[in-house]
């Protein structure tokens, strides 16, 4: 009999950074262990500068180790090799293969984070045989004076940006955000970004470590602090347009200025054939696929994207992107979650309070019971797609979770019109398989080759 999978917890791994601090140990209660050159383990002290805690990583050079249950001691890559789509879901596995598609971290930015940029999937695949790096930052805490630099405050050119990185004036053209707890930033590939001073961040990103450092606030010129820079290598990766405010979602501490729309890129997917008379709603396609699960007012007939909830409700959609969807759960009452609705694994990150995942089970004597998996602030848990359902139960009145899933999207080539008939008028198609033609003409799937030269979808 096939053994059931269960919610996975992993051992966090510390990453030292010159801009790091002690919040991961002192505020999140992390305990990091590392090995010296002789293989002896020792606990990393609270006074060490730890910039990142890698919570869930399938990166080859860093693989998270499972800490609970009968599979404890295995790495995430070993689990993926064995259980494949049972962990991530069939669609996710068919798209990403055996690499777990998300990397989860906590960041403690206590000093100036280098000015950097990440490539998109296309460039990363062509040049480095890697995924690109889209990511979100959820601000768990922000001390007075903390800053995030996101994109540019005006249109830029490659030459001006290059010169400013060399003469130390790049800060003058960066868009500055003074964040508050609960804010969300969706950092798209190509967005130049940095941060400074007193930020505790939960980061969800593609499973990639493709980071190009462009400017390091002068540290690159001091031998003791110098790190490799990649300005020339990244010059054609950068988005030189002003920062898109739709990528920044102000949290509840902003009061009336708070925003409740998901972070999304503001670009049109019409492929150059936009028929919108005025404002373009091409990003607002509804994905309810028949049955609508909108809890509030439904706008599906208006062509808008299905949102989980609105202001003040339990579930808020934070980010919608081709790489991942992230929601915030203000968990005050138990929720019954049906995994098949997601068609994906689910990652939960505890931002505040504590929760438990309770999974229906059966004892050896046939008696029904619940298996309980607890996690608290600063912890991450992975629910495999293979689990049919579970209960998400708060253990604290102020429990807040981030929920991340992946729903792969194959981009439509803008040069292909899906409404074009698959057959040429006047041509003889005698000999094709029965059923492809009916009395009214072609009956093949839209966009499919009647000769079967192409598959139904291809990864771009």
Residues marked active site are found at 213
Bridge partners (DSSP) of residue 320 are: 325
**What is the β-pairing status of strands 193-196 and 135-142?**
unpaired
User: Is residue 50 within 8 Å of residue 25, measured between CB atoms?
Assistant: yes
**What is the β-pairing status of strands 33-35 and 41-43?**
antiparallel
DSSP class of residue 255 equals G
278-306 as b/e: b if 16+ CB within 10 A: eeeeeeeebeeeeeeeeeeeeeeeeeebb
Q: 30 Cβ partners below 8 Å, 6+ apart?
A: 12, 14, 24, 50, 53, 106, 378
Tokens of 261: 């729309």
Residues 264 and 325: their CA atoms lie apart, in Å, by: 10
How many CB atoms neighbour CB 157 within 10 A? 9
Tokens of 385: 């797609």
Residue linked to tokens 């030292």: 16
Q: Which of 347, 374, 369, 344 is nearest to 359 (CA)?
A: 369
Tokens of 202: 């939960």
Residues 264 and 176: their CA atoms lie apart, in Å, by: 19
Tokens of 431: 């000999």
Give the burial class of 384: count Cβ atoms within 10 A of its Cβ; 0-12 exposed, 13-18 middle, 19 or more buried. Answer: buried
């Amino acid at each position: 009999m096939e053994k059931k999978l269960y919610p996975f917890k992993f051992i966090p791994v510390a990453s030292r950074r010159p801009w790091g601090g002690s919040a991961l140990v002192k505020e999140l209660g992390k305990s990091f262990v590392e090995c010296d050159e002789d293989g002896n383990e020792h606990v990393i002290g609270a006074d060490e500068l730890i910039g990142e805690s890698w919570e869930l990583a399938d990166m080859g050079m860093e693989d998270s180790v499972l800490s609970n249950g009968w599979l404890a001691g295995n790495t995430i890559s070993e689990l993926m090799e064995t259980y494949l789509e049972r962990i991530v879901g069939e669609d996710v596995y068919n798209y990403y293969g055996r690499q777990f598609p998300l990397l989860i971290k906590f960041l403690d930015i206590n000093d100036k984070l280098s000015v950097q940029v990440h490539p998109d999937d296309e460039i990363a695949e062509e040049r480095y045989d890697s995924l690109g790096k889209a990511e979100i930052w959820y601000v768990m805490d922000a001390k007075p004076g903390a800053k995030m630099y996101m994109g540019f405050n005006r249109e830029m050119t490659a030459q001006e940006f290059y010169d400013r990185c060399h003469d130390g004036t790049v800060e003058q053209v960066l868009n500055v955000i003074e964040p508050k707890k609960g804010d969300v930033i969706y950092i798209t590939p190509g967005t130049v970004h940095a941060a400074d001073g007193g930020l505790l961040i939960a980061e969800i990103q593609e499973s990639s470590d493709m980071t190009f450092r462009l400017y390091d606030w002068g540290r690159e010129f001091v031998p003791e602090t110098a790190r490799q820079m990649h300005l020339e290598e990244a010059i054609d990766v950068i988005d030189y347009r002003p920062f898109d405010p739709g990528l920044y979602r102000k949290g509840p501490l902003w009061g009336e200025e708070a925003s409740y729309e998901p972070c999304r890129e503001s670009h049109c997917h019409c492929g150059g054939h936009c028929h919108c008379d005025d404002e373009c709603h091409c990003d607002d396609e509804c994905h309810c696929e028949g049955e609508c699960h909108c809890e509030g007012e439904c706008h599906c007939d208006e062509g808008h994207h299905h949102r989980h909830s609105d202001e003040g409700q339990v579930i808020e959609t934070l980010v919608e992107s081709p790489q991942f969807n992230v929601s915030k759960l203000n968990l005050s009452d138990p929720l019954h979650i049906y995994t098949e609705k997601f068609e994906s694994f689910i990652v939960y990150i505890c931002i505040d309070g504590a929760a438990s995942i309770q999974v229906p089970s059966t004892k050896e004597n046939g008696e029904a019971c619940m298996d309980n998996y607890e996690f608290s602030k600063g912890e991450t848990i992975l629910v495999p797609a293979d689990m049919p359902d579970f209960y998400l139960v708060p253990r604290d009145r102020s429990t807040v979770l981030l929920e991340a899933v992946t729903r792969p999207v194959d981009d439509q080539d803008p040069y292909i019109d899906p409404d074009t008939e698959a057959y040429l008028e006047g041509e003889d198609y005698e000999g094709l398989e029965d059923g492809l033609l009916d009395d009214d003409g072609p009956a093949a799937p839209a966009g499919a080759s009647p000769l079967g030269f192409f598959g139904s979808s291809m990864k771009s």
